[in-house]
């Protein structure tokens, strides 16, 4: 898995990073909103390796991307060749291109998550899904994809779900949603996410991709080769020294099960290693989120925690991207 030199550090040659441009031959253009550090974008582009498996390029390429966090943009630029627009979406929505094949976005979930304030779409952050609607209205893509937490399907979020569906359906698209369990798609993590897919009326319907694995990847299978490595900032193999407390995030990973959901706002209280007397490192958290080892995190520990926890697992996004590609190919 890791390409280690004699010092035990991860070699990250520039040509090996995810920044190699995707081939434009038969490529489909993608607009990316709320891009974060690029988990969903990497999955849609493809061309990366994870736990010994190659996830081929999909034929998608990002034509426009936006993220408000300067730190997340810094990481994004370290991993992708195409540009990202840094700043508030409301200030840049007018710079969208005239059209694209697909619009994607993982709109903020803090007001919907069970770990958040449960304000629903009336909250300041989760109400930003309306900018996905606006991007779709302006560009009329063939397909759009919107991601949020599984908690959106809870009874207390019934109004929010209905409001989102009403707004998306008003765009003139056939809209469906599905609760994905990331561990069923090769991600070593029990992570539930709701994915909305809207297909334009002249397009075939979206078919949910079938699970890709019968047996989930365990925490030990994902992390075992990192156990003997000392801390190494060059590969983000650093960890929080926070002691156990009464707050969330103090569970210990179980070796023969997938990892627990990686949270964005863990404030150092990320889960403990299954056999070592420490919390997991950021590289280990990235593994649990299915980021390839050559994905560079350009920030400090706390910000990297946030970026990894906020991300869509690239491997899960890759499976969804291929199902979206199937819609586009069936329309020819």
What are the DSSP calls for 61-81, one per residue? Answer: EEEEEEES-HHHHHHHHHH-S
Q: Mean pLDDT over all residues of the chain?
A: 88
Identify the residue whose tokens are 């707004």: 167
Residue 150: which pLDDT band, with cuts at 50, 70 and 90? confident
The domain of 324 spans 22-210+313-330
* CATH number for the domain that contains residue 56: 3.40.50.150
Q: Which two tokens stand for residue 44?
A: 């849609």
Give the Cα separation of 289 and 310 in Å (integer). 10
- Residue 277 forms part of a structural domain: no
37, 109, 266, 299: the active-site residue: 109
Q: Are 243 and 277 in contact (CB under 8 A)?
A: no
Residue 21: which pLDDT band, with cuts at 50, 70 and 90? very low
Q: Are 2 and 254 in contact (CB under 8 A)?
A: no
Give the Cα separation of 229 and 265 in Å (integer). 26
In the DSSP assignment, the letter for residue 214 is S
pLDDT in tens, 226-265: 999 999 999 999 999 998 876 667 899 999 999 999 998 8
Active site residue 109: yes
Alpha carbon distances (Å) from 295 to 12, 53, 77, 83, 267: 9, 15, 11, 17, 22
- Residue 262 forms part of a structural domain: no
The pLDDT value recorded for residue 122 is 53
Angle formed at CA 114 by CA 109 and CA 116, multiple of 5 degrees: 60
Q: Is the pLDDT of residue 41 over 80?
A: yes
- Residue 135 forms part of a structural domain: yes
User: Residue 41's closest CA among 24, 23, 18, 71?
Assistant: 18
Q: Are 95 and 80 in contact (CB under 8 A)?
A: no
Give the Cα separation of 253 and 177 in Å (integer). 30
The pLDDT value recorded for residue 109 is 55
- Residue 116 forms part of a structural domain: yes
Q: Is the pLDDT of residue 7 over 50?
A: no
Check: pTM over 0.75? Answer yes or no: yes
**Phi, psi (deg, nearest 5) at residue 31:** -100, 130
Residue 266: which pLDDT band, with cuts at 50, 70 and 90? confident
The pLDDT value recorded for residue 254 is 97
The pLDDT value recorded for residue 71 is 97
Residues above pLDDT 70, as percent of the chain: 85
Residues 181-190 have a mean pLDDT of 98
Residue 108: which pLDDT band, with cuts at 50, 70 and 90? confident
- Residue 284 forms part of a structural domain: no
Based on the structure, what is the number of domains in the chain?
1
- Residue 158 forms part of a structural domain: yes
- Residue 291 forms part of a structural domain: no
pLDDT in tens, 189-233: 999 999 999 999 999 999 999 999 999 999 999 999 999 999 999
Residues 9-13 have a mean pLDDT of 42
- Residue 12 forms part of a structural domain: no
């Amino acid at each position: 898995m890791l390409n280690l030199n004699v010092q035990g550090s991860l070699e990250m040659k520039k040509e090996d990073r995810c920044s190699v441009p995707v081939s434009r031959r038969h490529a489909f253009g993608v607009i990316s909103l709320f891009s974060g550090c690029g988990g969903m974008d990497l999955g849609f582009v493809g061309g990366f390796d994870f736990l010994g498996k190659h996830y081929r390029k999909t034929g998608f390429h990002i034509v426009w991307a936006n993220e408000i966090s300067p730190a997340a943009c810094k990481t994004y630029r370290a991993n992708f060749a195409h540009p990202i627009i840094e700043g508030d979406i409301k200030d840049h929505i007018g710079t969208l291109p005239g059209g694209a094949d697909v619009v994607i976005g993982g709109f903020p979930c803090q007001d919907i998550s069970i770990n958040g304030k449960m304000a629903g779409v009336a909250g300041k952050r989760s109400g930003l899904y309306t900018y996905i609607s606006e991007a779709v209205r302006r560009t009329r893509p063939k397909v759009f994809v919107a991601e949020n937490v599984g908690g959106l399907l809870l009874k207390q979020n019934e109004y929010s779900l209905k409001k989102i569906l009403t707004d998306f359906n008003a765009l003139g698209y056939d809209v469906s949603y599905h609760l994905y369990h990331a561990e069923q798609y090769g991600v070593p993590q029990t992570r539930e996410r709701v994915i909305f897919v809207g297909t334009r009326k002249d397009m075939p319907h979206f078919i949910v991709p079938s699970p890709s694995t019968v047996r989930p990847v365990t925490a030990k299978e994902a992390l075992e080769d990192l156990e003997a490595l000392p801390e190494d900032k060059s590969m983000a193999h650093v960890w929080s020294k926070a002691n156990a407390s009464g707050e969330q995030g103090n569970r210990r990973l179980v070796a023969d099960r997938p990892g627990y959901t990686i949270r964005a706002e863990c404030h150092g209280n990320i889960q403990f290693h299954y056999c070592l007397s420490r919390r997991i490192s950021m590289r280990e958290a990235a593994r649990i989120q299915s980021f390839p080892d050559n994905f560079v995190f350009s920030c400090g520990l706390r910000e990297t925690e946030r970026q990894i926890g906020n991300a869509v697992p690239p491997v899960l996004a890759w499976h969804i991207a291929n199902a979206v590609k199937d819609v586009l190919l069936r329309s020819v």
